[in-house]
Structure 1
Amino acid sequence: MPRVQLKTLTEQMYYVLLALKKERYGVEISQYIEQLTHGRVVLGPGTLYAILSKFEDEKWIQEKKSEGRKRSYIITNIGRIMLEKEYQHLLEMIEDTKQSEDDIYET
């Protein structure tokens, strides 16, 4: 069954919302995510701005400043709710893994 768009977040989407708990410009978002994940998640400009556009359409983030081509964004209350829902979903997945009969961590 295909994933319903924006019902669950991709890893990149999750980190963009997380980064926008503080107002940041596009390049700052990418740098923050790359630093936070120790280079595991790297967002190119095309991916980042596609995500920002979707999130603006959904009212999960809002543009705060615009200086020429440079724009800053911040998470909205709706975005915070979505970030919290995804966080809880991830915790449930971790708990399910821990309780699994075939616990991959047992040897």
Structure 2
Amino acid sequence: MVTEQLTDSAYYILLSLLVPRHGYAIMKYVEELTEGEVTIGPATLYTLIKKMVAADYITAGDIEDDRRKPYCVTEKGKQIIDNDMERRSRMARHGINAIQQAKEVSDHEKK
């Protein structure tokens, strides 16, 4: 099954928009959620927001002011998140299985 694969930045932006947020709040939320492991700069953020609005993954809410336009994930965006979480879980399982198989081969060769 082939589904759209999100970049890490796009994945975290969509997660942040499960609750309406403006740009700066998105960046702060991602940094807090990932305990500083992922940071998204303004150029990346607004490039991805533009693409995700065009793809109907998110919508722009009413403008509070020019600098605080809130965005929110759409139903299509929620489905993309679900699909990507499942894909990432499969990838983690594949990694665990590959490491276990490599260990078994290594242990067998030592005998």
- Fold conserved between structures, TM > 0.5: yes
1:88 corresponds to 2:86: yes
Q: Percent identity?
A: 28
Q: Which has the higher helix share?
A: 2
1:99 corresponds to 2:104: no
Query: How many residues were matched structurally?
Result: 100
CA root-mean-square deviation: 1.8
TM-score scaled by length of structure 1: 0.86
Q: Distance in 2 between matches of 1:13 and 1:77?
A: 16
Equivalent of 1:31 in 28, 41, 50: 28
Structure 1 stretches lacking a partner, 5+ long: 1-5
Could you list the structure 1 runs, at least 4 aligned residues long, displaced by more than 4 angstroms after superposition.
none
Rg bigger for which structure? 2
Structure 2 stretches lacking a partner, 5+ long: none
Q: Distance in 1 between matches of 2:15 and 2:102?
A: 32
1:64 corresponds to 2:61: yes
Equivalent of 2:17 in 10, 16, 20: 20
TM-score scaled by length of structure 2: 0.83
Q: Which has the higher strand share?
A: 1
